[in-house]
């Protein structure tokens, strides 16, 4: 029988599952946007800021380069989805079971979150705000889970 956990541990775990679901669902929306316009709609402002021209104008003037960017975006979305599935599985199963390695592993996601914020999201206020949710929420939620991994009974796995 599992020892009873404080309510905040359960709540923070549920919030971590929701946070981990985002990198699984967001790439699906990106793939839909790529299929429709060649670029995810939420990436268009960042593209315009970096390229100095809107996506539609760029696509018309440079169809080969636009096709290449669309392929890169597709590959990025697929990688993000795979990474997101892995993160979601780690949060949903071993983290829930209290396996300490899973808690440490979840911190690695901050590298991707910070990289996204510094490379793409900083060029668009909406993406920037969304990226800050993960950058702030993940360390807060994992920190709230820490007592369970360092001061409670440990899993033998």
pLDDT in tens, 57-75: 999 999 999 999 999 999 9
131 close to 113: Cβ distance less than 8 angstroms: yes
In the 8-state DSSP scheme, what is residue 38? S
d(CA 34, CA 102): 33
- 3-class DSSP state for residue 92? helix
Report residue 153 as tokens: 């009974």
d(CA 141, CA 42): 26
> What's residue 155's pLDDT?
44
Question: Could you tell me the pLDDT band of residue 153, with boundaries at 50, 70 and 90?
Answer: low
Q: What are phi and psi of 107, to 5 degrees?
A: -65, -25
Question: Could you tell me the pLDDT band of residue 2, with boundaries at 50, 70 and 90?
Answer: low
d(CA 41, CA 34): 8
Look at residues 68, 90, 88 and name the one whose alpha carbon lies nearest to residue 80.
88
CA 59 to each of CA 30, 38, 55, 62, 69: distance values in angstroms, whole numbers, following the listed order: 17, 8, 6, 5, 10
Report residue 77 as tokens: 């979305």
Give the rounded percent of residues in the chain with a pLDDT score beyond 70: 94
User: pLDDT tens digit string along 122-148?
Assistant: 999 989 999 999 999 999 999 999 999
> What's residue 85's pLDDT?
97
User: Could you tell me the pTM of the whole model?
Assistant: 0.85
What are the residue ranges of helices labelled H in 52-124? 55-61, 63-90, 96-97, 100-106, 109-119
d(CA 73, CA 5): 42
């Amino acid at each position: 029988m599992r020892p009873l956990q404080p309510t905040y541990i359960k709540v923070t775990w549920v919030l971590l599952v929701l946070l981990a679901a985002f990198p699984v669902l967001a790439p699906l929306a990106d793939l839909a946007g790529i299929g429709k316009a060649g670029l995810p709609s939420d990436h268009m402002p960042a593209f315009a800021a970096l390229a100095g021209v809107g996506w539609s104008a760029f696509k018309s003037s440079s169809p080969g380069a636009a096709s290449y960017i669309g392929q890169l975006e597709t590959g990025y979305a697929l990688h993000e989805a795979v990474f997101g599935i892995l993160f979601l599985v780690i949060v949903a199963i071993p983290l829930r079971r209290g396996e300490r390695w899973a808690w440490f592993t979840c911190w690695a996601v901050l590298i991707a979150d910070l990289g996204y914020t510094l490379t793409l999201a900083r060029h668009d206020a909406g993406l920037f705000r969304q990226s800050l949710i993960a950058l702030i929420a993940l360390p807060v939620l994992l920190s709230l889970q820490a007592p369970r991994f360092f001061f409670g009974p440990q899993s033998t796995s």
